[in-house]
């Protein structure tokens, strides 16, 4: 026993042996205090909790055992229980059994005797640290979930097995048109979306529940009852309880309506871009056709004129025409090349060629321009380099001509040096190992001039398209600025990079490197295409005259081709459309057909297909060579698919024509025509088509063969003076005044016939026929300079191409304009023809 003696009153508070045994068996701490706060009982669990024995606590008050602040709080709690007579329940921090700070749950309640007298306080408490920590963790996680659901812009939801919402995010509630998330609880998709969409969502969720396989990132179209459709990307997962059983689904969806609209807009933009590219390609094809058609006449007539007797001044004029024609063709080819490269449709050849020969040919091409400026063109070619490589010689020469030509253009004194050496670096910039025997060689090609140089600030722009170093250079030196850009892109297609070094007033060096396969070829013959265009050498006259059927609707081109064929020793017959071509081919023997691709009534492709159809089952096969003003790869493919054997690009060159015809032999069963009534005679006299609609004199006599009644000059009265441009016509049409009068007669019949056909086309609403007939009339008008009628025909051609002739108002206006202008032009032609008869 301790020194403290328990009074008789206190002994009444002592529990019986049964109570003590019960209290000691409990896992929670039990403490009994008297009304003055002294401890009168503590069970074993309490003593273990405090690491004390009974003697250490018996009779002690809170101030004896705890720090002052804690003791005061305990004493205050005791006092409240004693005064109120009510139990007190609390969870509070405390020092737990292991000495750490934890949490306990305690109950303080008053103790009464059998007579209701207040005896003291019973304190029960136990360790709830794990529970409190779990609750804290749960509350934190709940806080995180609430923060997520209240702030994330995506829609998050939880559903039960019946697909009823049990929890949703704030964004989802607002998307559904609710401000309070609780308003959605218990609803289903059927309460919000259309039945079709709700049913599909329900089936998806049932499948997720049954299989346990989530549905991830599926793009869905949401159809609403009262608003426009939207799009979302949704993920649905099975909702599993602690036992692993499914209790519903949960998921997240993100609204991608703006993205889908952007995609739709992008697709539309891509479609429009594709349409624009197609339109550009069509424009380039049409531009090629429209430019090359008159260029054919220009180049062809210049070549034919050069074969006649000319004095020095006339020869200089013809040479100027030829050089200007070449410049126009180079410009056209540059534009087409740039477009092909831009559309990634330009393909490189892979053939054996001599690099030294190509460089010499490029230099030879520009030697005349350099000589005019007293410039020296030098070549520094490493003799140890292989002689032949595999690549695209045409494109390599194009690069060289552009770079050398550019150097000559911007150099006024000194010269230009072309250097070709073996490169000592690989494409990665590391030293190159000896590649002899490897089958490849890396070459460095540089073009150095002593010209004006390029300022540093402008060096980056000169390789861009349509750009020169400054605007004043365009005025001073001319050019489109395409040459360097095309060269840069061609070098890049070959795996190199075009670079430059320049100093103002000193000069410029353009250089690039090419990694080329070495060709194992001993010798190569020069390419015939490299030869200068011959204007009348005997080596180009055919050894065996051919009968040639020319299918061409343009009168000017008919004259050019007839003259070229005559100069080569061949005879020809003219057909103005595909249908007439077929008729002539079936009724007469020909050795070859020159077939224009674009003709009225039936174009060249249709006519070729028809001829090949007729030939099926027979041993006949007439060679057909296409004539096209378009320089696009698509035209070559169409020619092959239609069954054509070859094709020539306008302007038709005499040498190219001779080469195409040189492999063709005359038919052995060809008839001998002996009467003047036949369509043509060897040497090319009058040629008349079967319909008698057009007459072409293939011999095109010179002015000296003019008939006695033909006037020396052409003039129209004031009334008709503006209808025809006779001066221009006389300068373009072979045969001078006589040639103009002959074509005027041809034109009168053709114009009258075409106007009648166009009137019928307008009556039937046939856009395609009107377009073709208007195109033919437009070309015919150009011969005599009938510009107003030409414009009227051009407007009809455009409307027909755009399928707009169904508009009654537009059709009436176009037809009225055509008839008015045709009447004026035909009256002018009648006046013109009356002069010849006079």
Question: How far is residue 597's CA from residue 576's CA, in Å, rounded to a whole number?
Answer: 12
Pairing status of strand 88-95 against strand 101-112? antiparallel
Radius of gyration of the chain (CA): 51
Burial level of 160, CB count in 10 A (0-12/13-18/19+)? middle
Q: Please give the average pLDDT of every successive group of 10 residues along the chain, which has 838 residues.
A: 50 61 87 92 89 90 89 91 91 78 90 87 91 88 87 91 92 89 91 92 93 91 89 93 91 91 87 76 65 70 76 78 70 63 66 84 78 87 85 85 87 91 60 54 92 82 58 46 76 87 89 88 46 37 77 78 83 90 90 88 89 87 84 70 85 80 77 34 34 35 40 71 74 62 78 87 84 79 80 86 82 88 89 71
Which residues make beta-bridge pairs with 443?
422, 514
Helix (H, G, I), strand (E, B) or coil at 836: helix
Q: What is the DSSP letter of 551?
A: E
The single residue listed with the structure tokens 């089936």 is: 203
Main-chain phi, psi angles of 87, to 5 degrees: -70, 150
Main-chain phi, psi angles of 133, to 5 degrees: -65, -40
Topology alike, domains 8-131 and 152-255: yes
Main-chain phi, psi angles of 647, to 5 degrees: -150, 150
Fold entry, domain 8-131: Beta-Lactamase (3.30.450)
Return the closest-CA partner of residue 660 out of 534, 551, 548.
548
The single residue listed with the structure tokens 């755009």 is: 802
Residue 296: which H helix or E strand, with range? helix 257-306
Main-chain phi, psi angles of 500, to 5 degrees: -145, 155
Q: What torsion do the CA atoms of 603, 608, 611, 616 make, to the nearest 10 degrees? A: -140
Q: Which CATH superfamily is domain 152-255 in?
A: PAS domain (3.30.450.20)
DSSP string, 512-570: EEEEEEBP--S--PPPGGGSPPPSS-GGGS-SS--EEEEE---HHHHHHHHHHHHHTT-
Question: How far is residue 680's CA from residue 590's CA, in Å, rounded to a whole number?
Answer: 12
Question: How far is residue 88's CA from residue 76's CA, in Å, rounded to a whole number?
Answer: 12
| CATH class assigned to 703-837 | mainly alpha
Question: How far is residue 793's CA from residue 789's CA, in Å, rounded to a whole number?
Answer: 6
Domain edges within the chain: 8-131, 152-255, 272-336, 351-426+438-522, 538-671+678-697, 703-837
Q: What is the DSSP letter of 644?
A: -
Is 791 within 8 Å of 818 (Cβ atoms)? Answer: no
Question: How far is residue 358's CA from residue 391's CA, in Å, rounded to a whole number?
Answer: 12
Main-chain phi, psi angles of 455, to 5 degrees: -60, 145
Helix (H, G, I), strand (E, B) or coil at 527: coil
Is 401 within 8 Å of 360 (Cβ atoms)? Answer: no
Q: Which CATH superfamily is domain 538-671+678-697 in?
A: Response regulator (3.40.50.2300)
Task: Provide the strand spans (E) within 570-642.
Answer: 571-575, 592-596, 624-628
Q: Is the pTM of this model over 0.75?
A: no
For the domain covering 351-426+438-522, report its CATH number: 3.30.565.10
Q: Identify the pLDDT of residue 109.
A: 93
């Amino acid at each position: 026993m301790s020194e403290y003696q328990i009074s008789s009153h206190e002994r009444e508070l002592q529990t019986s042996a049964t109570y003590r045994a019960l209290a000691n068996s409990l896992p929670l701490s039990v403490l009994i205090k008297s009304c003055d706060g002294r401890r009168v009982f503590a069970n074993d669990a309490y003593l273990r909790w405090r690491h004390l024995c009974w003697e250490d606590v018996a009779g002690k008050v809170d101030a004896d055992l705890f720090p002052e602040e804690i003791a005061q709080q305990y004493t205050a709690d005791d006092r409240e229980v004693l005064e109120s007579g009510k139990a007190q329940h609390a969870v509070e921090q405390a020092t737990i059994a292991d000495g750490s700070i934890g949490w306990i749950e305690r109950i303080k309640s008053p103790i009464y005797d059998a007579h209701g007298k207040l005896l003291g306080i019973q304190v029960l408490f136990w360790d709830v640290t794990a529970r409190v920590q779990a609750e804290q963790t749960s509350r934190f996680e709940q806080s995180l979930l609430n923060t997520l659901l209240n702030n994330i812009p995506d829609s998050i939801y939880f559903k039960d097995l019946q697909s009823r919402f049990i929890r949703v995010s704030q964004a989802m509630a607002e998307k559904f048109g609710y401000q309070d998330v609780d308003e959605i609880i218990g609803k289903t998709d059927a309460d919000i979306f259309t039945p079709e969409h709700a049913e599909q969502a329900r089936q998806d969720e049932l499948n997720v529940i049954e299989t346990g396989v989530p549905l991830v990132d599926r793009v869905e179209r949401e159809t609403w009852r009262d608003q426009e459709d939207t799009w979302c990307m949704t993920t649905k997962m099975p909702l599993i309880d602690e036992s692993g059983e499914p209790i519903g689904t949960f998921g997240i969806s993100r609204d991608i309506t703006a993205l889908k609209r952007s995609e739709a807009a992008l697709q539309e933009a891509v479609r429009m871009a594709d349409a624009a590219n197609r339109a550009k390609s069509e424009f380039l094809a049409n531009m090629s056709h429209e430019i090359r058609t008159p260029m054919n006449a220009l180049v062809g007539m210049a070549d034919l004129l050069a074969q006649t007797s000319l004095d020095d001044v006339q020869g200089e004029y013809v040479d100027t025409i030829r050089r200007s024609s070449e410049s126009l063709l180079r410009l056209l080819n540059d534009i087409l090349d740039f477009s092909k490269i831009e559309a990634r449709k330009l393909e490189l050849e892979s053939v054996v060629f001599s690099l030294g020969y190509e460089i010499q040919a490029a230099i030879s091409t520009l030697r005349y321009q350099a000589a005019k400026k007293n410039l020296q063109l030098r070549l520094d070619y490493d003799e140890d380099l292989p002689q032949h490589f595999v690549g695209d010689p045409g494109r390599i020469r194009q690069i060289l001509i552009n770079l050398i030509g550019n150097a000559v253009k911007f150099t006024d004194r000194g010269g230009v040096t072309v250097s070709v050496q073996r490169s000592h670096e690989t494409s990665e910039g590391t030293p190159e190992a000896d590649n002899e025997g490897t089958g490849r060689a890396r070459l460095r090609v540089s073009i150095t001039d002593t010209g004006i140089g390029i300022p540093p600030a402008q060096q980056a722009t000169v390789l861009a398209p349509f750009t020169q170093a400054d605007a004043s250079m365009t005025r001073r030196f001319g050019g489109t600025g395409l040459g360097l850009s095309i060269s840069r892109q061609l070098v890049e297609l070959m795996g190199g990079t075009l670079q430059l070094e320049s100093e103002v007033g000193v000069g410029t060096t353009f250089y690039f490197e090419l990694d080329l396969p070495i060709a194992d070829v001993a010798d190569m013959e020069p390419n015939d295409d490299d030869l200068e265009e011959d204007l009348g050498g005997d080596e180009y006259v055919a050894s065996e005259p051919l009968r040639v059927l020319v299918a061409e609707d343009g009168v000017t081109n008919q004259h050019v081709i007839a003259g070229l064929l005559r100069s080569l020793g061949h005879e020809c017959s003219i057909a103005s459309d595909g249908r007439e071509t077929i008729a002539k081919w079936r009724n007469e023997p020909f050795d070859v057909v020159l077939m224009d691709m674009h003709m009225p009534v039936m174009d060249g492709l249709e006519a070729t297909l028809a001829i090949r159809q007729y030939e099926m089952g027979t041993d006949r096969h007439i060679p057909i060579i296409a004539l096209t003003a378009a320089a696009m790869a698509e035209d070559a493919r169409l020619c092959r698919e239609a069954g054509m054997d070859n094709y020539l690009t306008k302007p038709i060159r005499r040498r190219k024509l001779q080469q195409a015809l040189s492999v063709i032999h005359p038919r052995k069963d060809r008839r001998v025509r002996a009467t003047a009534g036949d369509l043509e005679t060897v040497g090319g006299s009058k040629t008349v088509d079967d319909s008698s609609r057009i007459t072409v004199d293939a011999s095109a006599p010179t002015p000296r063969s003019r008939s006695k009644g033909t006037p020396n000059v052409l003039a129209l009265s004031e009334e008709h003076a503006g209808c025809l441009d006779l001066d221009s016509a006389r300068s373009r049409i072979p045969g001078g005044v006589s040639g103009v009068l002959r074509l005027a007669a041809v034109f009168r019949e053709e114009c009258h016939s075409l106007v009648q056909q166009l009137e019928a086309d307008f009556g039937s609403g046939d856009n395609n026929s009107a377009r073709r007939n208007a195109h033919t009339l437009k070309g015919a008008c150009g011969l005599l300079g009938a510009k107003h009628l030409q414009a009227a025909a051009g407007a009809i051609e455009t409307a027909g191409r755009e399928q707009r002739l169904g508009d009654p108002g537009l059709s009436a206006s176009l037809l009225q304009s055509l008839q008015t202008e045709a009447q004026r032009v035909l009256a002018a032609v009648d006046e013109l023809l009356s002069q010849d008869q006079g």
